[in-house]
């Protein structure tokens, strides 16, 4: 039986120190990536690592995910493995004996987290649209060098598929597709 922590922040620059501070943990899994989907290495590792009798501590529900379907699926998958899931800020525990009220709060809070994410995206899109109208929007910062982009394109010209290029370059599939189909 292990006490496991899961910590997530949205960007590399954000600090994880406040989450699970003071909780005695045997193992911690951390992601510095958006919570809008399940494609996070720390979460994947947690799901593989957690065993019957373990307790997973999460600072608050939105740290697990900002997608109601993912929150429910992740909690259910862990509980099905006989793992207890504890959301500290909300004071909710799921171990297979959740009451109707607990499930209601889980869904309500997960819905609110998803709503917050969608409102943030809408505000960002509106800000970008207005900046473009004023002619001041320059786009996001350039993340990948011309050399990396050319390497990806060269593999494609050689007949490699996107997933093969991903395995070779260690770039994400989304990045490979962006370079191949959107970046000039």
Q: Is-catalytic flag, 111?
A: no
**Tokens representing 70?**
């993912």
DSSP annotation of 29: E
Q: Which residues contact 65 (CB under 8 A, 6 or more apart)?
A: 35, 36, 37, 38, 71, 74, 110, 113
Q: How many CA atoms lie within 13 A of 1 on its CB side?
A: 5
Angle between helices 173-181 and 162-169 (to 10 degrees): 120
Which of 10, 62, 65, 99 does the annotation list as catalytic? 10
Range list of β-strands (E), the chain: 3-9, 27-32, 55-58, 84-87, 92-94
Catalytic site positions: 10
């Amino acid at each position: 039986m292990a006490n496991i922590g899961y910590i997530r922040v949205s960007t590399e620059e954000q600090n994880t120190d406040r989450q699970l501070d003071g909780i005695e943990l045997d193992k911690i899994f951390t992601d510095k990536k958006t919570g809008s989907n399940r494609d996070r290495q720390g979460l994947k590792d947690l799901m593989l690592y957690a065993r019957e009798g373990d307790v997973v501590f999460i600072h608050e529900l939105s740290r697990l995910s900002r997608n109601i379907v993912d929150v429910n699926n992740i909690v259910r998958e862990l509980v099905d493995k006989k793992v207890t899931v504890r959301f500290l800020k909300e004071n909710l525990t799921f171990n297979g004996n959740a009451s109707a009220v607990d499930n209601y709060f889980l869904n309500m809070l997960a819905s609110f987290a998803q709503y917050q994410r969608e409102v943030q995206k809408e505000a960002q899109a509106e800000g970008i649209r207005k900046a473009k109208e004023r002619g001041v929007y320059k786009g996001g910062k350039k993340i990948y060098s011309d050399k990396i982009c050319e390497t990806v394109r060269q593999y494609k010209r050689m007949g490699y598929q996107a997933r093969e290029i991903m395995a070779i370059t260690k770039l994400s599939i989304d990045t490979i597709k962006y370079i191949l189909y959107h970046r000039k």
